[in-house]
Every structure is written in structure tokens, then in C-alpha cells.
Structure 1
Amino acid sequence: MKKLGISIYPEHSTVERDKEYIELAHKYGFKKIFTCLLSVEGDKNKIMREFKETISYANQLDMEVMVDIAPRVFGVLGISYNDLSFFADLGAYGIRLDMGFTGNEESIMTHNPYDLKIEINMSNATKYLENIMAYQPKKENLTGSHNFYPHRYAGLSYAHFQKCCEEFKKHNIHTAAFINSSAATYGPWPITEGLCTVEMHRDLPMAVQAKHLYAMGLIDEVIIANAYASEAELNALSQVDSDMQTFTINLHDTVTELEKKIVLEELHFYRGDVSDYLIRSTQSRVKYKNEEFKPTFTPDIRRGDIIVENELYGQYKGELQIALKDMKNSGKTNVVGRIVEEEIFLLDYLAPWDKFRFTL
């Protein structure tokens, strides 16, 4: 399973409220916390004391806290790239550099004696990573994460996102991306119109955003960017299978008990001889070849429909399929259900021999 994370912004909240949120996320199996130290304006000692208290609480729950540091905070706190004891004393798991150095400094930082992770920005598609790699970093201490975008329409295009991820996976660098909670109300900045890495995710349910990232096979950590996600969202996200595509569906009233059993209880796989029109899962026609499959609901077929061939289709009777295109129905095919509209695009990420399941 991939790691799940939340984000907290202590400058805009209280220690008590952040602790409650951390405890709730821990309850649902979340392991990562992203947080920002964007400024130390005001009472510096109080800010740092509260920051340390929150991180200490997270560590007690075996959660890993990644601290995003603005370059100017390095200067204000007198921190040097070759002495990261400040972050070790904070109890941080690692630090994220939104703006980098020349490559050599990042490499030196990965060799820190505390084994703090050094997380770099994944969203720019430059030769930044290649440059760091040329300086021989301690690779297990180098990770990457994308930016997130509070401005609607400013998030990454899918093509650019994929290109950036592939550069990091080429070097087997651990990757992270951010998704948006519709229940959350704030991030690190005053303006927020949702908070996500990929623009196409902005208005999707949180679990669907995660399913998409998992389906790509390029992201190791999925982190909720804004605060605070609802308990229902945390629960839904914790239920998403990161290793197998699972489609949320609605079943039609006409579905038979046997068809329902086939849809919901069988493990399906995408047959290898690929069609433009259908994803075929053929084992049900073998397992239930002696059962009855009477014609029931046989309207014309739309992309995203879940269908089971009825007995008029001879040897194909009992075979489950997912429609990839709209098709005429000859009356030999029972339309038993449909993938929810916001997940139909995920069909594009199923590959031959992939396993998949359905859930209501």
C-alpha cells in the first residue's frame, strides 16, 4: 500500500486543533504529515515551541513530518545547508526545499548525520534532478514531491505531471503528490480555490483523485493539501486500494442475484487479446457455465456500462464485460450496472492482464 498524508498549517491554527486532526488521520492509517515553516514573524520562540510540540505529538504516533522551508526562513533562523541539526532537534522526518540550490548543496544535505530526508520540487521538468544526481547524493535520503496550486486553472496539466514523475521514477526516487479536500477550508496562503497538484483533480471526489494517481503507477505518497479534511473523506481515502483498480458502481434494479455475485465477489482481470470496444473478464462464463442467464435489461450500451452476456449469446453466456465505447445491443447482453460518471475516465488506465474489482 502507498503512504497517505495530511497537511497542517500551524500559523493558521492551534496546537490543540492540529493534534486532533493528526490523531484522526492516524486512526485511518495515515503516515505522513506535510507542514510549512513559511515565516517566523512575531514571537519566534513561541512559534518554534508550538511547532516542536506538534511534531513531537506526531512522532509519538509514528507519523513522519516533512517540513517545507522558505529560503528566507533559512536566513532568519541562521540555518546552513551543511548543518541541519535545527531540523533534527525539531523532530522532523525531513525538509522540503521549494526553491533549490545548485545541486551540490542538495547532495551534501542528503549526507546529513541525522538521515533527514531531503525532498525536492518535482513540478518544473528541468534538469534539476539530473544535476543533483551528478553530485552523488545519498539516494535513500533524496525524495521528491510536487507543488500544489490554490488558484483554479493553475494546477499542472496531466501531460506535464506525467513527464515530471517519469524523470523521478527513472532514478527510483520516492515521489509524492497532493490532492484536494472539498471539506477543507484553508492552506498556507489567503487565497484558496481548492488545493491540488493536477488541475483535473480540483473538483473530483478525493478518493477518485487518489485512484487516478495510483492508476498511473508513478506516485508513492498521496497527501491531502488543504486542512481540515472531513472524517468521511479520511475514511474513504483509507479504503482506496493502491494496488488494484477498484471502480465504484451503481447496479440496476434488474440485476439478478447471480449477476450481482459475479460483479461484486469475483476477482476480474482484463483479458489480454484487447478490443477497442470491451474489457472482457471471462472467468465467470467458465465458473457459471451451467447456470441460467435469462435476458433482462438490454438497452443500447454506453461507455462505462457493466454488462453480462445472457444465454442468447451461446458460449459467451455469463461473461462480464465493461463497455469502452457506445454500442448497439442485439438483446443478447444484459446491462447490469454502470461505473459512476466521475470514474469512467479511469478505464483508460487499465492495461491487459490488470486485475480489478467493483464496489458499491
Structure 2
Amino acid sequence: MFGFSMYLNEDLSSEQQAYMEKLQQIGFAEIFTSIHIPEDATGPMERRLKALGQFAQAKGMNLTVDLSADALARLRLSFDDLEPLLAWGVTGLRMDYGVSNATIAQVSHTMQVALNASTLSAQDIAELQQYQANFAAIEAWHNYYPRPETGLDERYFIEKNQWLKEQGLKVMAFVPGDEALRGPIFEGLPTLESHRHVSPFVAAIDLENNYQMDKIFIADPGLNKTTCQQFQAYINEQVLLLHARPMTEDAQRIARRHTNRPDAARDVIRSMEARGQSHGSIPPLNTVERPRGAITIDNDNYLRYKGEVQITKVNIAADPRVNVVGQVIDADLGLLDNCRSNQVFEIIWEEV
């Protein structure tokens, strides 16, 4: 399940409204926002939160707010009565430091609760059980890390997530955006440091396939048009869009959807549909080295394999029987290792 973030530093603009509309139509189902209220900004923040909540309600989306006890008090609200927040469209609270487990347990019977995945301990779980928390309403959410070099280590991430899932909790992590990055550092907002400068779509697919995340949120407030198209194809049709540069006219032979074979190869992605179709003669052309991401067609010299379409996952030497017709762009190379057996993919040729 995918979600996105929208911050309330200013009133929602028409551009932000359009962006949220687009993501909701694509299939994003939840919104995250964070509220830290200066003493002189309570009125504007309340107005902005209500506007965001109204949007979420109208679209049937969940809205989770990272909101401290102090910020709650400045909104003239308390954990003892969250009905006003529910009326505004808020469906969940992200709890962190300073909120007792007794209070968390109490809130879990009113709305969804997101706890800090990194700091949640066995003692916390025991206390929540003691206070009869509604664990069906509790999830574990990782942080995002604005400062470079501070994102999580993969080994720690795997071990922590394994423990969290053993407790019966759903787990969420963030990936960065790629159009509007959040200040003041503007270096992306990933959970994993390895995702800091990676395409948001590549990072999201990596989290889903290799870390079994239950929820994945875009932490920065913007995705570009190309990335939105990739999410749309994946969420609605489970198709990976791979953008590539054509290198020969033969590239147009394979301008359609393909399926990686069920017996997935180690070194290449093999199109299940291409071989056996009527291609006519395919003379040798551009039979050069095949770097990772090379898109190839087997030529006449490969006899019964003529017409087979492959994408290389590793660097492979030149072969006079294999024509190189294109190259996956650098931003999408990370998708190759996530194109598993029976995965449908489509090559989108970029204009030269």
C-alpha cells in the first residue's frame, strides 16, 4: 500500500491540490503530515489541517498526523477527547517521545496509532498489552532522515522489521521524492540511506520486494510526471515501466509489453513473448558489449533463438549472434533486479 506526504508550512495551493488529486487517482491511499506549531501559528495550522483533512475525507483516504502533546494542546485538544480531530478528517496519530504507553493504548481504541519503529521495545509491547491496547490499530512506522549519512543500515532494518512483524505489527518506511524536495536540506527524505539518491519508484519497489514493507510513503512533497506514470502502471496493473534509449531501428520491434519468463535467469531478463513470433530476417547489427541494462535481440545467427529479447542484469561480453538495440536509463537500472519471474514489464523508448 502506497501513501504520500503533504506538509502544512503554508495554505494548500491549487498546485498541491492537483498533485494530491493525481496521486489519489493513481491509487495512493493514505496521507501523512507533520505538525509542529509555533505559538503564533495555531490558527493557520488548524485551518490548514482541516483543509487537508477535508480532502482526505472527500477521497476516502486515511490521514495520519505526526503531532506532539504540545501541538495538540495548542490546538486546544487533548488525548482524552480526539473526536474533534476525527471530525476534521484525521484518522491516525504518529506517537513518539513524551507520550506514555497508557495514553497510546487509550488512543488505539479511538483511531489508528503509528509508533516509532526504531525505538519500539519489548518493554513497550509488554506495557501496551498491560494497558489493553488495541493492537489491530497499531502500526510501526520508521522515520525519514533529512541529513545525508544518517539513514538506516540495511542489516539493522531487516533485523528490526523481523522483530516487529513477530509482534504482529504492520511496518511502514519512507522513500524520497524527486521533484519537490523538502527543506531546509533538500537531500531527500529516505528511511534507508541507500535510497537517498535513488528514484522514488525504484526505492519503493525495493522496499516492497526485498524488505516486505506493508506500507510505503513518499516522504518528500513531490513526484515528477515520469515517476507518477511508473507508480500508476504498477499499482493498477503490476507492470514495471522501464525507460530506455534506443540505439538501432530494431528497437521498434519490441515496443510492447513483455513478461519475464517463469524460469527467471540469473544474468538476464528474458521476454516470454518475443521468441517464436514472426520477425522476418534479423541480420547482425551493433553486436557490441552488453553492459548492465542493455536491451538485445538475438539475430539470424542464433538460429532457433532468433528474435529472443533480453535485458542484461550484469555486464556481458559481445556476441556476434546478439544485437544491442537499446539501453535502460541509469535511473531505472535498479528495477532490473526486481523484475522477477512472471513480472510484466514495458520498455518506454525515450526520444533521442
Alignment TM class, shorter chain as reference:
0.7 to 0.9
Tell me, yes or no, if structure 1 residue 339 matches structure 2 residue 328. Answer: yes
Q: CA deviation at 1:25?
A: 1.4
Q: CA deviation at 1:3?
A: 2.7
Equivalent residue, structure 2, for 1:123: 118
Match of 1:160 among 140, 156, 162: 156
Bigger mean CA deviation after superposition, 293-302 or 37-46: 37-46
Cα contact 1:5–1:221 (8 A) shared by 2: no
Equivalent residue, structure 1, for 2:217: 223
Equivalent residue, structure 2, for 1:280: 270
Once residues 228 and 6 of structure 2 are traced to their aligned partners in structure 1, the CA distance between those partners, rounded to angstroms, is 16
Once residues 240 and 168 of structure 2 are traced to their aligned partners in structure 1, the CA distance between those partners, rounded to angstroms, is 23
2:281 is paired with a residue whose SS is coil
Tell me, yes or no, if structure 1 residue 7 matches structure 2 residue 6. Answer: yes
RMSD of aligned residue pairs (Cα, Å): 3.3
Equivalent residue, structure 2, for 1:41: 39
1:177 is paired with a residue whose SS is strand
Q: CA deviation at 1:99?
A: 2.8
Equivalent residue, structure 1, for 2:88: 90
| % same residue | 23
2:327 is paired with a residue whose SS is strand
Unaligned runs of at least 5 residues, structure 1 = none
Cα contact 1:211–1:240 (8 A) shared by 2: no
Once residues 47 and 4 of structure 1 are traced to their aligned partners in structure 2, the CA distance between those partners, rounded to angstroms, is 22
Cα contact 1:254–1:297 (8 A) shared by 2: no
1:239 is paired with a residue whose SS is helix
Unaligned runs of at least 5 residues, structure 2 = none
Alpha-carbon deviations, 1:214-265, whole Å to 9, x = none? 33362343333233x266367346435144444332232242543x24xx33
Figure out how many residues of one structure are paired with residues of the other and give that number.
Answer: 342
2:145 is paired with a residue whose SS is coil
Q: How does 1:1-360 map to 2 (within 5 A)?
A: 2-8=1-7, 10=8, 12-14=9-11, 16-17=12-13, 20-28=15-23, 29=25, 30-42=28-40, 44-45=42-43, 47-74=45-72, 81=79, 83-99=81-97, 101=99, 103=101, 105-112=103-110, 116-124=111-119, 126-127=121-122, 130-131=125-126, 134-135=129-130, 137-170=133-166, 173-187=169-183, 190-216=184-210, 218-227=212-221, 229=222, 232=225, 235-236=228-229, 238-242=231-235, 243-255=238-250, 257-258=252-253, 260-261=254-255, 264-272=256-264, 274-275=265-266, 277-285=267-275, 287-288=276-277, 291-351=280-340, 353-360=341-348
> What is the identity, as a one-letter code, of the residue corresponding to 1:152?
P
Once residues 342 and 290 of structure 1 are traced to their aligned partners in structure 2, the CA distance between those partners, rounded to angstroms, is 30
Once residues 129 and 310 of structure 1 are traced to their aligned partners in structure 2, the CA distance between those partners, rounded to angstroms, is 62
Once residues 325 and 219 of structure 1 are traced to their aligned partners in structure 2, the CA distance between those partners, rounded to angstroms, is 27
Q: CA deviation at 1:185?
A: 4.8
> What is the identity, as a one-letter code, of the residue corresponding to 2:109?
H
TM-score when normalising by structure 2: 0.81
> What is the identity, as a one-letter code, of the residue corresponding to 1:239?
Q
TM-score when normalising by structure 1: 0.79
1:269 is paired with a residue whose SS is coil
1:25 is paired with a residue whose SS is helix
Once residues 20 and 85 of structure 1 are traced to their aligned partners in structure 2, the CA distance between those partners, rounded to angstroms, is 30
Once residues 324 and 68 of structure 1 are traced to their aligned partners in structure 2, the CA distance between those partners, rounded to angstroms, is 40
Cα contact 1:248–1:359 (8 A) shared by 2: yes
Once residues 284 and 127 of structure 2 are traced to their aligned partners in structure 1, the CA distance between those partners, rounded to angstroms, is 63
- The 1:316/1:72 distance shift into structure 2, 3 A limit, reads same
1:312 is paired with a residue whose SS is helix
- The 1:77/1:173 distance shift into structure 2, 3 A limit, reads same
- The 1:297/1:192 distance shift into structure 2, 3 A limit, reads closer
Q: CA deviation at 1:152?
A: 1.5
Once residues 21 and 56 of structure 2 are traced to their aligned partners in structure 1, the CA distance between those partners, rounded to angstroms, is 9
